[in-house]
C-alpha cells in the first residue's frame, strides 16, 4: 500500500511539472506574439495573406492545445481515481514506446523549432515561409505514418 502511495505521489509530481511546462510554453507563445506585433512584420505587399493567416492560426491552435492539456492535467490532479488509472505502468510503457518508435523527443524538438521558424518567417519572407511550411508538413506526415503504423502493427 505504501509503495502504491509513493508511486501516486511521484506521478502527481510529474503531472505538476507537466502543467508548469505547459503554462510556461503558453507564456512564451504570448510573449513571442507581443514581440512580433511590436516589431511589425514584413511588407504586406510581398508577404501573402495566407502566410500571415497560417502564423496567426498556428499561434491560436498552439494556445488552445496548451490550455486544453493544462485543464486535462489539472482535472486529473483533482480526481485521485483518474490519476491512478492514468498511472498504469503498462499503459505508460505502451505510450512511451509508441512515442519513441514514431520519432520520440528528437522529433518533438525539431517539429517545435521548425514550427517556430515557420511562424516567424510568415511575417517576413515568402521563400522562408514556404520552406518552413514544407518542413512542417513533412514532419507531420512522417510522424503520422510512423505513429499509426506502429500503433496498428506493433505486437508489444
In the predicted model, what is the mean pLDDT of the chain? Answer: 87
Averaged in consecutive runs of 10 residues, what is the pLDDT profile of the chain (156 residues)? 72 92 95 86 71 89 95 91 83 86 87 90 87 93 91 74
State the cell numbers at 25.
510554453
In degrees, rounded to 5, the angle at the alpha carbon of residue 143 between the alpha carbons of residues 141 and 144 is 65
Say what the pLDDT of residue 130 is.
92
Say what the pLDDT of residue 52 is.
82
Q: How many structural domains comprise the chain? A: 1
In degrees, rounded to 5, the angle at the alpha carbon of residue 122 between the alpha carbons of residues 118 and 124 is 120
Domain enclosing residue 43, as ranges: 2-153
Distance from the Cα of residue 38 to its chain's centroid: 25
Say what the pLDDT of residue 105 is.
85
First to last CA, the chain: 29
Say what the pLDDT of residue 43 is.
61
pTM: 0.80
Amino acid at each position: 500500500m505504501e509503495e502504491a502511495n509513493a508511486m501516486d505521489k511521484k506521478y502527481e509530481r510529474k503531472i505538476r511539472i507537466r502543467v508548469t511546462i505547459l503554462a510556461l510554453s503558453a507564456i512564451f507563445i504570448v510573449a513571442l506574439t507581443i514581440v512580433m506585433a511590436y516589431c511589425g512584420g514584413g511588407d504586406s505587399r510581398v508577404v501573402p495573406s495566407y502566410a500571415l493567416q497560417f502564423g496567426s492560426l498556428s499561434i491560436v491552435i498552439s494556445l488552445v492545445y496548451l490550455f486544453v492539456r493544462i485543464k486535462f492535467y489539472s482535472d486529473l490532479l483533482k480526481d485521485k481515481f483518474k490519476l491512478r488509472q492514468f498511472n498504469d505502468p503498462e499503459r505508460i510503457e505502451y505510450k512511451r514506446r509508441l512515442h519513441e518508435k514514431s520519432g520520440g523527443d528528437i522529433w518533438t524538438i525539431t517539429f517545435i523549432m521548425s514550427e517556430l521558424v515557420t511562424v516567424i518567417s510568415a511575417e517576413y519572407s515568402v521563400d522562408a515561409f514556404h520552406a518552413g511550411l514544407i518542413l512542417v508538413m513533412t514532419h507531420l506526415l512522417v510522424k503520422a505514418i510512423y505513429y499509426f503504423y506502429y500503433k496498428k502493427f506493433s505486437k508489444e
